[in-house]
Amino acid sequence: MTDTPVRWQSLVAQYQSPEVRRSLWQLANSIFPFLLMWYAMYRSLEVGYWLTLLLAIPAAGFMTRTFIIFHDCGHGSFFKSNKANEITGYITGILTWTPYYFWRHDHAIHHATAADLDRRGKGDVYTMTVAEYISAPWWKRTGYRIFRNPLVLFTVGAMFVFMVAHRFWLPGTAARERNSVIITDLALALIIATLTGLMGWSKFLMIQLPIMFFTTSVGVWLFYVQHNFDRTYWVHHDQWDFFKAGMNGSSFYKLPRLLQWYTGNIGFHHIHHLSPKIPNYKLPECYRDNELFHVRPLTISLSLKSLGYRLWDEEQKMLVGFRELKKYRQMKTT
């Protein structure tokens, strides 16, 4: 799919202005219900843990929605004011256990390098090519298989990223990003200390862990399927095209209306990658009004095929599973 930059840029520009009323309403219908559900889970412990676990599902939905607000703030698209985005980003980041500037930096790199084979590994779900996997030492192949196993990637792996990895920074991290980790960690420590002091460790963990499990699993799945899907686009840097990376390398994940609401319209990911400045609540409007963005949708049933994708085959220009390795080796030996 190709198009002139002038045309698509002029189309998305019409939706890039946030509306304070709509942003404030989204804050109200995301954060307050999340806090209310958290309290309801606490009270439900008196009834039975089965009810607590059931309530964790909608609580995770509101936490996911809160993360989308955090995400928009990171792009400077939730409010016109940079200060308002920063304050809201820090608050929603604490609620979702994610340091604002630290995450914003990595996510900006993701937007600048998505679908670029030569710039993988920062802010994305790392994907090896078939040739890289075959030539890798056994220990690296084993680690990659474990990492890309859905039972790891979308469960303990997802929770590890948000609950553990986000608590630290890497050497060379700039002061602003490092400070955002420290501020978020201190705020979380204060919140956790207060809540555990009021209810005890066991009750806190019985509430927080299932919320984090459902939220991080869904979040990582969304991020994964938005770029790992049938007919996606990956090329080397000298062939990389921004428009194609957005339209062909990012999916349009067509979800049922309720799930689309809970996930803050992030399923319109192809449009989001073309213009991160569009507030999440305007993405459906941009899609509806412009036929250019009516790409082949990825349904839930079709997206399940992505569970089998592990590697990028540069020769076939498609994602493949580990089963394809035998065929690849045979081709190389004949």
Tell me the mean pLDDT in the region 234-255.
96
Which class for 193: exposed (0-12), middle (13-18), buried (19 or more C-beta within 10 A)?
Answer: exposed
Segment 197-240, tens digit of pLDDT: 999 999 999 999 999 999 999 999 999 999 999 999 999 999 99
Global confidence as pTM:
0.94
pLDDT band for 333, please (50, 70, 90 cuts): low
Rounded-to-10 torsion of CA 154, 173, 167, 65? -60
Residue 203 CA to residue 52 CA, distance in Å, equals 11
Cα 66 to Cα 55, 92, 248: the distances in Å are 17, 6, 28
CA angle 127, 132, 137 (to 5 degrees): 110
State what percent of residues in the chain have pLDDT above 90: 93
Count the domains in the chain. Answer: 1
Average pLDDT across the chain, whole number: 95
Residue 212 CA to residue 97 CA, distance in Å, equals 9
Give the position of tokens 């213009």.
Answer: 275
Question: Contact, 233 vs 75, CB < 8 A?
Answer: no
Distance of CA 279 to the CA centre of its chain: 16
User: What does the pLDDT read at residue 326?
Assistant: 76
* SS3 state at 55: helix
> Can you list the pairs that 238-244 forms with residues at least 24 positions away whose Cβ atoms lie under 8 Å?
240/115, 240/116, 243/1, 243/2, 243/3, 243/5, 243/8, 243/274, 244/1, 244/2, 244/115
Segment 56-75, tens digit of pLDDT: 999 999 999 999 999 999 99
Hey, what are 261's tokens? Answer: 């609401």
* β-sheet with 128-129: strand ranges across: 128-129, 311-313, 318-320
Structural domain for 130, as ranges: 5-333
CA angle 177, 161, 311 (to 5 degrees): 110
Question: Contact, 272 vs 278, CB < 8 A?
Answer: yes
Question: Contact, 280 vs 76, CB < 8 A?
Answer: no
Question: Contact, 45 vs 52, CB < 8 A?
Answer: yes
Question: Contact, 97 vs 188, CB < 8 A?
Answer: yes
Hey, what are 258's tokens? Answer: 């309720």
Residue 59 CA to residue 30 CA, distance in Å, equals 10
User: What does the pLDDT read at residue 123?
Assistant: 80
pLDDT band for 330, please (50, 70, 90 cuts): low
Segment 87-124, tens digit of pLDDT: 999 999 999 999 999 999 999 999 999 999 999 988 88
Residues facing residue 253 across a β-bridge: 298
User: What does the pLDDT read at residue 327?
Assistant: 73
State what percent of residues in the chain have pLDDT above 70: 96
Residue type, 151: L
The answer to whether residue 1 scores a pLDDT higher than 50 is no
